[in-house]
């Protein structure tokens, strides 16, 4: 009996070690599974063009985007009608902390243009937002806006150059004009001539989708590599 006693103790310790190893392995697998299952968060920071102004919110292009995506992508629409780049820059830090997005879509500047605000001021505000998003670990997709030609060619050109300049400086993708193929089609614009109709929303999404899809693919590949 005495000679067998150490054998029993050794067996017991071996079983405990095996059990602990199994628990650690299971915990690791659960952690990895949870990490892989965590959805990609896309946050849209825009104005009335992304807030579905004048139409039912469910028909807006951001909501249509959420329906197109799989369950592994979460859409946060932080857009507010009337928002300027200044207002967006003030709100963004808190939103980044709250939602921790993987991708930020910046769709701002239209209201700056309608108010005739200096393009340099708009550029500085958008630059702050790009830097804050990148510092938070998010990729940025810039959605460009154009102002009506009645503001004068010089202002229109300067306004347009803001978006391309920022895209070049920060190395981020750009959709040059969110309302491409829509803004000059009266049948797709509301009576104010500024906001697109519900019928235009799928076209807006089509303007955004190819570039956004590339970013989402990059996020999936990164998650697979980390997994």
Rg (CA), the chain: 25
99 is catalytic: no
CB 160 within 8 A of CB 123: no
Catalytic, out of 12, 14, 48, 81:
48
Angle at 36 between CA 39 and CA 50, to 5 degrees: 15
Catalytic, out of 47, 79, 102, 195:
195
195 is catalytic: yes
Sign of the dihedral defined by the CA atoms of residues 186, 187, 190, 195, in that order:
negative
Q: Distance (Å, rounded) from C-alpha 125 to C-alpha 49?
A: 19
Distances (CA, A) of 113 to 30, 77, 119: 50, 22, 8
Active site residues: 48, 192, 195
């Amino acid at each position: 009996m005495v000679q067998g006693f150490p054998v029993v103790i050794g067996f017991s310790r071996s079983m405990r070690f095996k059990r602990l190893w199994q628990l650690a392995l299971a915990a690791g697998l659960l952690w990895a599974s949870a990490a892989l299952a965590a959805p990609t968060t896309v946050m849209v920071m825009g104005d009335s063009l992304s807030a579905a102004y004048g139409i039912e919110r469910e028909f807006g292009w951001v909501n249509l985007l959420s329906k197109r995506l799989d369950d592994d992508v979460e859409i946060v629409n932080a857009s507010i009608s009337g928002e300027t780049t200044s207002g967006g820059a003030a709100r963004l830090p808190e939103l980044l902390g709250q939602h921790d997005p993987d991708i930020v879509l910046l769709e701002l500047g239209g209201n700056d243009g309608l108010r005739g605000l200096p393009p340099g001021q708009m550029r500085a505000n958008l630059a702050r937002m790009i830097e804050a998003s990148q510092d938070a670990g998010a990729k940025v997709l810039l959605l460009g806006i154009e102002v009506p030609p009645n503001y004068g060619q010089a202002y229109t050109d300067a306004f347009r150059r803001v978006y391309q300049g920022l895209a070049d400086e920060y190395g981020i993708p750009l959709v040059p004009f969110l309302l491409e193929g829509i803004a000059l089609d009266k049948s797709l614009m509301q009576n104010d001539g500024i906001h697109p109709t519900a019928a235009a929303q799928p076209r807006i999404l089509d303007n955004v989708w190819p570039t956004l899809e590339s970013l989402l693919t990059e996020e999936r590949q990164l998650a697979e590599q980390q997994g």
